[in-house]
Amino acid sequence: MHILHVVGARPNFMKAAPVFRALRDRSGVRQTLVHTGQHYDANMSDIFFVQLEIPAPDINLEVGAGTHAQQTAKVMIGLEETLLQSRPDLVLVYGDVNSTMAAAVVCSKLQIPVGHVEAGLRSFDRTMPEEVNRIITDRLSDMLFTPSEDGDQNLAVEGVPAEKIHLVGNVMIDTLVRLLPRAQLPVFEGRPREYALVTLHRPSNVDDPTGLTRIIQALEGVARELPVLFPAHPRTQNRIAQLALNTNRGLHIMEPLGYLEFLALQREAVVVITDSGGVQEESTYLQVPCLTLRENTERPITVTMGTNMLLGSRVDQLGIEIERIMAGEAKRGSIPPLWDGHAAERAAAIVAS
């Protein structure tokens, strides 16, 4: 059986790595790894192949940045050519980025079966480009691997036949479980012992200069009480550069970090402030308080069971919530079912059967 994996953006790598490993251990399986090149900086791509021990991609489509239509179209054109040549038995796609959706469309037209890993998540907010990607990808997929029960329910409501849906658990947490013992704090001068860890990259938070300025000012307020470490996504770095801000000394804006360094920082953080999907999940697993600067989440289990709290655009609340956390009154959580380090093995067993 020939399985072709399509990855493209940072969070795809943490999800594909355990599935690739689990399938590698099965006899009769041949695998091809296609990188669309949606993310291309060394610290947004190459570093994860090394740290997560993923083999170098067989093919890189080098699509790079662009508008949604440009990026999606480039993935479709490049991947169609690849698939016409290699004709795999199954294509596996991950998460909700443009590369995921573009791959699902191409496979569907070529009548190549598609498996979607991390299916069924819904924010019910179509202003998020990822929500559109999730709906289309799920609609076109033949096998839908869900991370939690809510995913199954969403798919059932949309009329996806039950035999296509497989509740396997959270593959991103597989990577975390495997690599947590190797997580290592980054070395840099003046790294504080106690800190808030921040990541932000949603267009709704960072693309509007007024909104981003409000967020940065709120983080400066936090930094007066608790140092803030902010490894900034390139989209965000570009936007911050345009604001020409003079941030105070407690707010450390830095380059994106490797997985092992970022994971160690998450584990030790007093609080995580984010709009990332993956970080909401990882902080729930690590039981670190998480304040999410979004009005909604496609990962509601991190709120109902985990340590996550949605603050929306109420950045003025950050100080109050952090004070509460520092006073020992953080929201407690537990680890959702099947977030146990074995989700990819379950998915691989289903694929193989």
Q: Return the residue of 7, 11, 266, 270 that touches ligand UD1, per CB under 6 A.
A: 11
Q: Which x/- pattern, by CB under 6 A, does the window 294-313 give for ligand UD1? A: --------------------
130 binds ligand UD1, rule: CB under 6 A: yes
248 binds ligand UD1, rule: CB under 6 A: no
Specify the length of the chain in residues.
353
166 binds ligand UD1, rule: CB under 6 A: no
Nearest residue to 155 via CA among 348, 333, 298: 298
Strand positions, DSSP E, 250-310: 251-254, 271-274, 290-292, 308-310
CB 346 to ligand UD1: min, Å: 25
Half-sphere exposure of 179 (CA within 13 A, CB side): 24
Choose the contact partner of 186 out of ligand UDP, ligand UD1, none; CB within 5 to 8 A by kind. none
Distance CA 61, CA 282 (A): 29
Coil/strand/helix, residue 32: strand
Choose the contact partner of 98 out of ligand UDP, ligand UD1, none; CB within 5 to 8 A by kind. ligand UD1
Query: Phi and psi (nearest 5°) for 316?
Result: -65, -15
Q: Which x/- pattern, by CB under 6 A, does the window 29-68 give for ligand UD1? A: ---------xxxx--x--------------------x---
Distance CA 325, CA 290 (A): 10
Residue closer to ligand UD1 (CB basis): 281 or 321: 281
Residue closer to ligand UDP (CB basis): 3 or 269: 269
CB 235 to ligand UD1: min, Å: 4
Q: How far lies 309's CA from each of 126, 132, 202, 204, 262, in Å?
A: 21, 24, 17, 18, 21
Choose the contact partner of 270 out of ligand UD1, ligand UDP, none; CB within 5 to 8 A by kind. none
CB 165 to ligand UDP: min, Å: 22
Cα end-to-end span (Å), the chain = 11
Tell me if residue 201 is catalytic. Answer: yes
Distance CA 158, CA 124 (A): 12
CB 44 to ligand UDP: min, Å: 8
Catalytic one of 5, 166, 201, 252: 201
CB 329 to ligand UDP: min, Å: 26
Q: What is the DSSP string of 97-148?
A: SHHHHHHHHHHHHHT--EEEET-S---S-TTSHHHHHHHHHHHH-SEEEESS
Give the footprint of ligand UDP on this chain (CB under 6 A): 10-11, 14, 199, 231, 256-257, 259, 262-263, 276-279, 282
Report the interface residues with ligand UD1, using CB under 6 A.
Answer: 9-11, 38-41, 44, 65, 71, 96-98, 129-130, 201, 233-235, 238
Q: Which residues are catalytic?
A: 201
